[in-house]
A and B are shown apart, each in its own frame.
Chain A
Amino acid sequence: MPQVRIIAKNFMDLVAALPAMKLDKLYESTFICEAVLRSLPPMAKRYVLQMLYIDTLIAAKSMEEWLLPDGLSKHKVSVDRLLQLRVFLEVTDRKKETSYKINPKFQSNIQKYLVNGGTLPREPMPLSITVRLPTLEDLETYASEQWECFLLQLINSAQAEKLTSFSSSMIKVFQRGLLSARENEAPKLTENGFQFLLMDTNAQLWYIIREYISTAEDRGVDPTDLISFLLELSFHTLGEAYNLNTLTDVQRIAIKDLADLGLVKLQQGRKESWFIPTKLATNLSASFTDSSSSKEGFVVVETNFRMYAYSTSKLYCEILRLFSRIEYQLPNLIVGAITKESLYNAFENGITADQIICFLQQNAHPRVAQKIPTVPENVTDQIRLWETDKNRVEITPSYLYEDFPSKEVFEAACDFAREMGGLLFEDSRTMRLVVRVEVHQEMRDFLRRQR
C-alpha cells in the first residue's frame, strides 16, 4: 500500500530543521517552549517534567533504568526527538559516556510557567471599542467557509465563487505537488492531490502552512519569525479581539494571508482594526499531535452502495465525485452511488481503497457513527475487492542473472539467493535467475568470490 507521502502532521520537523542558533532563540519565548513540549511524544513529555528540577547531568544509562523491557524503542524515539528539537542537550564526557541535560532556556521557561502560569501573548481589546464580536458559531462558520473556499480555489479555480486574495503565484506554490500543471492542458489533480483532499482539516492546514513557511524566504521573510508567530497565534483566546497595532510588520503581512485561510477574522472599527482568532488557529498547536478535530460527519452509506451526504458544500461534492457517481444534488443533500466504474476511476488517480473507507468512516453522519461498523461491511469489502482487481500484477524491483559459466555456479547462486530470502525465479534449463533488488549487492559479492 502506498504511504501517504504528503502527510503534514510533522510541522515540528520544520522547527527541528532550524539551525541550532535560531532554535535556541525561539526558546526565549514561553509559548514556543509550551508548544514544543505539547508536540512531544508522551514519554518525552514525561522525561522533561521529571528532569525539570534536576540541575545535574543525567547519564543515558541511568535513564534506561527507568524503563520496562518493552519500552526501549519508545524511549529511543522520545530521546531522539528531544535531541532533534534541542530540548535535551547531549554531553559526552571523557569516558565517552553520554549524558543529557535540558536546554537551560527551555528549562527556565517551563519552570516559570509552572509557578506563574501562562501569560497571554497580548491583551484582548476591551469590549467598549470592539462593540460587537461575532459569536463562536459565526466564527466557526466563517472559518470553515473561508477554508473551503480556499480549497475549492486550489483544486478548481473555475468553480470557486469568490476568490481569496492570494496572488496567483502563491496559489501556484500551494498547488505544486497537488496538481499536475502540463502545458496546454487543464490542470489535473495528482495522486498526492487526491490524498490531500481526503485528509482531515488539520492535516490539510498544516500542509498548506508548511508550504507557506518553506517559501517564506523567497518573499524576504525569515521563516523563524513566521513559525514563532504561528505558534504564538495558537495561544490566543478563541473569539477575542486583538489589536493589529500590536503586531510587527512581518506579522501584519502574514495575518492577511492567514485571514484568507480562515485562521483569523479581520475586522475594522472606527479607528482601529483587530483580528479574531478562529478555531483553526487555536487548534494549531493541538494538531501537532494526532488528536484530530472532532467534526460532525455528514455521510451515510447504505448496504446497497448508495451514499447520502448531508452537505451544502461544493467542496465535499467535488471530493465525493472523486470516487462515486453523483446522482442528484438537493439543496442540502448530495446523493451518489459507489460503483465499480467510479472506483476504478479513483484507483487510477492513485487513491487507495483504505483512504476511501477511512474518509467514509471519519465523516460518518452522527446517526450511523454510533453503529459498528459505520460503513456497511459488504461495501468496505467490495471496495477492497475492486481494488485488488486492479492489482493483479505485483511489481517487485529485481535483477536478472544469466550466462552462468557452469551448472555448479548457478546452483550455488540459487542456494545463496534462497538463503538470503531474495530468490524470486529460477530456471535451471536456461540457467537464469531473478533476485530481489535488496540482495543484489550480496549476490554480486558472492558471485565475485566464486570466480
Chain B
Amino acid sequence: MNAASAPSKLYSDDVSLIVVLLDANPFFWASSAAAAGDSASSHHPTTTLPFSKLLNHVIPLLNSLLLLNQFNQVVLVATGVNSCGYIYDSGDGGGGSAGGSVPAICSEILRRLEEFVVKDRLQGKGPDKVVATGVSSLLSGSLSLALCYIQRVFRSRARHPQPRILCLQGSPDGPEQYVAVMNAIFSAQRSMIPIDSCVMGVQHSAFLQQASYITGGVYLKPQQLDGLFQYLSAVFATDLQSRNFLQLPKPAGVDFRASCFCHKKTIDMGYVCSVCLSIFCKHHKKCSTCGLVLIYANKFHSYSNSKRKPFKYDFCFFFYKPH
C-alpha cells in the first residue's frame, strides 16, 4: 500500500497481471450448446451460453483490462480435458498494448484455440478413456501453469505487476484432481495471488469456492449468462487496490468437502493420516501417501500390545462441518 515509505518491488499503482484460465472443454460446451438449443423454447434460456458467445464476452474483457493501464498484462490459458496451454499473452506483442488490432488478436486467439482443442483431443486418445457424462477439465494443470507463469514474472523483473488469476470454469470439478488443485491453491495463497472464479456451469464448483475463499478472491456464479460481460467488467476487472473499498460479491457458502485419496470420491467424513494428513474414505492398514509412518505405527503397535492399552492414533476422524 504505502509505496512511498519503503522501496517496494511492486508498482505503486494499480498495474496488474491477470492470468485468465478459460475452460475449453469440448464435452462441456457441446452439452451446453445442446442444452441451449433444447431450452431455447422453454423457461430459462439464459443459464447456458455457447462457446462462441462466451468469447464475445471474454475478448472485450481482455481488451478492457489492457485499456485500464498501459502496463497491464493479460495472459490467456486454455484448460482442456487432457492438457492446457497458453493461448495469448499481451506481453509478447512488443510491449505497446495499443498496438495489435483487436480483429487480429481475436483471430489469433481463435486459431490457437482450435489448434489447442485438436491437440488436446489427440492427447486423450493414448490411454483410451471412457467418455463419461461429466468430463472435467484439467483445472489443476492450468492453475499450475498460471502460477508458474506468475513466478517467472516475479523472478525475471525488478518490478512486477500485481498478479491475479481469473478462472472461467464451466465443466464440473474432477474429484481425482483434488490433491493437485489444493496444492495449487495453497501455493497461490503463499504467494498472495488471489484466484477469482466465475462459474458458468450448472452446479457450483467446490474447488473454485475453496480457491477463492482461501486466496481472498471473488467467487461468482452469474445467474444470467447473456450479460456475462457486465459481471466480468464490474466484478473481475476491479484491481486489487480498489477491492479494499468496494462491495464485491460475497460467497453464500463454501463447500469445504474434500476428496478421498483412495477412490477420489467427495466425502463428508473420513479418515485422516495423523502424519501426512491424507484423507481416506475407508480405514486402511497402511497410508498410501507416506507408507513408512504406518509401518512404524504398526511396529509400535505390536510392541506395545502386551504392556499398554491398544494405541490407535494412526488414523483419526476427519469431520466435515458445513459453515
Contact = CB atoms under 8 A, between A and B. Distances in A.
A120 B7 contact: no
A291 B64 CA distance: 19
Given A113-B67, A289-B69, A294-B159, A74 B245 contact: yes
Contacts of A114: 60, 63-64, 67
Contacts of B108: none
Interface of B, secondary structure class, is loop
B163 to A, nearest CB: 16
Contacts of A74: 242, 245
Given A68-B244, A117-B101, A291-B11, A42 B239 contact: yes
Nearest to A40: B68
Contacts of B64: 49, 114
A193 B100 CA distance: 41
A286 B103 contact: no
Contact of B246 (A46, A110, A285): A46
Contact of B68 (A45, A237, A282, A361): A45
A67 interface: yes
Interface stretch (B135-143, B226-234, B254-262, B263-271): B226-234
A119 B104 CA distance: 11
Contact of B67 (A34, A53, A67): A34
Q: Which of B96, B98, B99 has the most CB of A within 10 A?
A: B98
A291 B13 contact: yes
Interface in A247-301: 282, 285-286, 289-291, 294
Interface string B144-175: 00000000000000110000000000000000
Nearest to B15: A291
B67 A282 contact: no
B7 A119 contact: no
Contact of B12 (A45, A238, A290): A290
Contact of A67 (B12, B100, B159, B247): B247
A49 B242 CA distance: 13
A291 B71 contact: yes
B180 interface: no
Q: Which of B67, B105, B159, B230 has the most CB of A within 10 A?
A: B67
A65 B246 CA distance: 9
Q: Which of A34, A46, A238, A361 has the most CB of B within 10 A?
A: A46
Interface in A83-120: 110, 113-120
Contacts of A53: 229-230, 233
Given A110-B67, A120-B98, 13 more contacts: A34-B98, A46-B237, A49-B68, A50-B230, A50-B234, A71-B244, A71-B246, A115-B102, A117-B105, A235-B96, A289-B13, A289-B69, A374-B7
29 contacts: A34-B67, A34-B98, A37-B67, A38-B70, A43-B245, A46-B237, A46-B239, A50-B230, A52-B233, A53-B233, A66-B246, A67-B245, A67-B246, A68-B246, A68-B247, A70-B244, A71-B244, A71-B245, A110-B67, A113-B67, A117-B101, A120-B98, A238-B95, A238-B96, A289-B69, A291-B12, A291-B71, A294-B159, A372-B7
